[in-house]
Amino acid sequence: TFKGRENGLRPDLAEKLAALKPAFVRFPGGCWVEGDQLKFATRWKRTIGPLSERWNQWNIWQYFSTNGLGYHEYLQLCEDLGAEPLFVVNCGMSHKENVPMAEMEEWVQDALDAVEYANGPATSHWGAMRAKAGHPKPFHLKYVEIGNENGGPAYNERYRLFYDALKAKDPEMHLIANVTPADHPLEILDEHYYSAPRFFMANAHRYDTYKRSGPKIYVGEYAVTEGSGAGNLMAALGEAAFMTGMERNSDVVIMSSYAPLFANINYKKWNPDLINFDGTRSFGTPSYHVQRLFSANRGDEVVPVDVAPQVVDAQPVAVPRGAVGVGTWATQAEFKDVRVTHGDEVLYPKAGDAAPAWKTRNGKWEIGDGVIRQTSDAVDCRAVMGDPTWTDYTFSVKARKLGGAEGFLVMAHVEDENRWLWWNVGGWGNARSAIERSDGSQKMAIGNDSPGSIETGRWYDLRMEVNGRHVRCYLDGQLVNEGEDSASAIQPLYATASRDKATGDLIVKVVNTSGTAQRLTVNIDGVSRLGQIAQATVMTGAPDDENSLEAPDKVAPRVEPFTAPGPTFERDFPAYSLTLLRLKTR
């Protein structure tokens, strides 16, 4: 077993995890925490003690776990990896049920007991249980996440209970939230992303505009899950492009973790996974190698990078344009006083205009007397009107929630059913608002998001201003969300650089997502000379290339020494590649 532990882990799997040099491990996972129903929610006390007495847990991936890898073993694994443990507690919410507030004390106490098991002295009740399991010294748990992908008013009131209790027990504990709580402190916010390579490329600059005074960000789950095969090179490069943005903004994004980590190839219920195995063999996907290269080559200081590709193989992107619309998601609402203007020109309603021809999708729509109403519980309900050639306009409308789970959808730049922009007001369980863009293959967030919920029965003034690519969204006259509609503007090159203080190395990562090799001049400002020895690590291939048990290294990095004649030199960056340069600057 790994590190010779009793009831330990399979060495080849744990060693692949160790090679990632993880700073932390988040456990016991995502939806595993909630369970489809509360009876299947994670309860850590059922995962410690004699193996034969542990709970066999059913989960949404349709298998039972013996919990042989339980709370204690996860803590031991983190210690063996030299990684911080990040424990995710169930906050009294499952996919389909919530614990009544009157019964929450037991669940909060469960979290406090978990902290005592990890950190308490061997003389405490749960610390003694840890000592009995063979670990008298504390594990020093410092990070706890309250829930997984939970939100809405139910999460807000439960978050408050856990936050207050955990801070009272240990004021130094770092607490992570799933969404921005409406009325309680927030230290670290967990954001999850699963989409196509294009989404991650388009969002490589997402964190450039995040407020530096706001909460820290933890990208707790992310992976290319569309157009990725079983985990191909293009997926890995899309993730690498996104990771350059996280590294560049590491003052805001303080933690990140790919998900999921492991899959038995004979029982896969999710695709892709970072490390795949059968009874005796294992391999990492191209994404695994990207994670390893980024993690094993982290500097201490971010260095500014300016990238000017010589070849751009993407077509020029037209100025966004399109019709307008309104919509709901599992919510009933009505809208009135629709108005669209272009500067001083009124696009709608013009004098003498007949009632607009609304095109609806999903839901139960009623239109008449200047009011458009949606009265079903269906999701993704839309009503669209206007000219698809409209651009640079202000769209205003009044909206009132009649019932349901969320708020309103206000649409602009509607080209067709699959290409549009919408302002999701009171989305994600009526917890926050953000602008999202669909380009036909996936939906992506642009700009900031903001906390807030929509009240039932109250009329709201909603206004979207679209000027070129810039979008501003106002709720009752207050600017709430803002961003650049640049989803279609994909760069061919992404780069980040950092400096290792101990070695003086400059660490440069360059991602070429295009099908054209780039010959670039690399110019390192502020350095008079470079050391004689440099190293390049390159991973490239065909975009659809994958690894497998039979060909585990079909896509893998190769290391090549090279000599840079000085602070300015030329280098080829292959098509579909990740290149990592380590340059001696001292």
Q: Which strand (E) or helix (H) includes residue 211?
A: none
Q: Which amino acid is at 308?
A: A
- Beta-carbon count within 10 A of 160 CB: 16
In what order do the strands lie in the sheet containing 534-540?
301-303, 493-499, 505-512, 577-584, 534-540, 558-562
| Axis-axis angle for helices 286-296, 233-248 (nearest 10) | 20
Residue that is written with structure tokens 């106002």 in the block: 474
Q: What is the DSSP letter of 99?
A: -
53 is catalytic: no
Q: Which class for 458: exposed (0-12), middle (13-18), buried (19 or more C-beta within 10 A)?
A: exposed
Question: Residues 73, 149, 239, 546: which is the catalytic one?
Answer: 149
Contact call for residues 507 and 514 (beta carbons, < 8 A): no
Q: Which strand (E) or helix (H) includes residue 380?
A: none
Q: Which strand (E) or helix (H) includes residue 505?
A: strand 505-512
DSSP class per residue in 7-67: T---HHHHHHHHHT--SEEEES-SHHHH-SSGGGS--GGGGSS-GGGS--EE-TTS-EE--
Reading the block at residue 144, the tokens are 């706890």
Contact call for residues 194 and 221 (beta carbons, < 8 A): yes
CA-closest candidate to residue 25, choices 66, 98, 79, 83: 83
Residue that is written with structure tokens 């016991």 in the block: 28
Q: What is the DSSP letter of 187?
A: S
Catalytic residue positions, numbered? 149
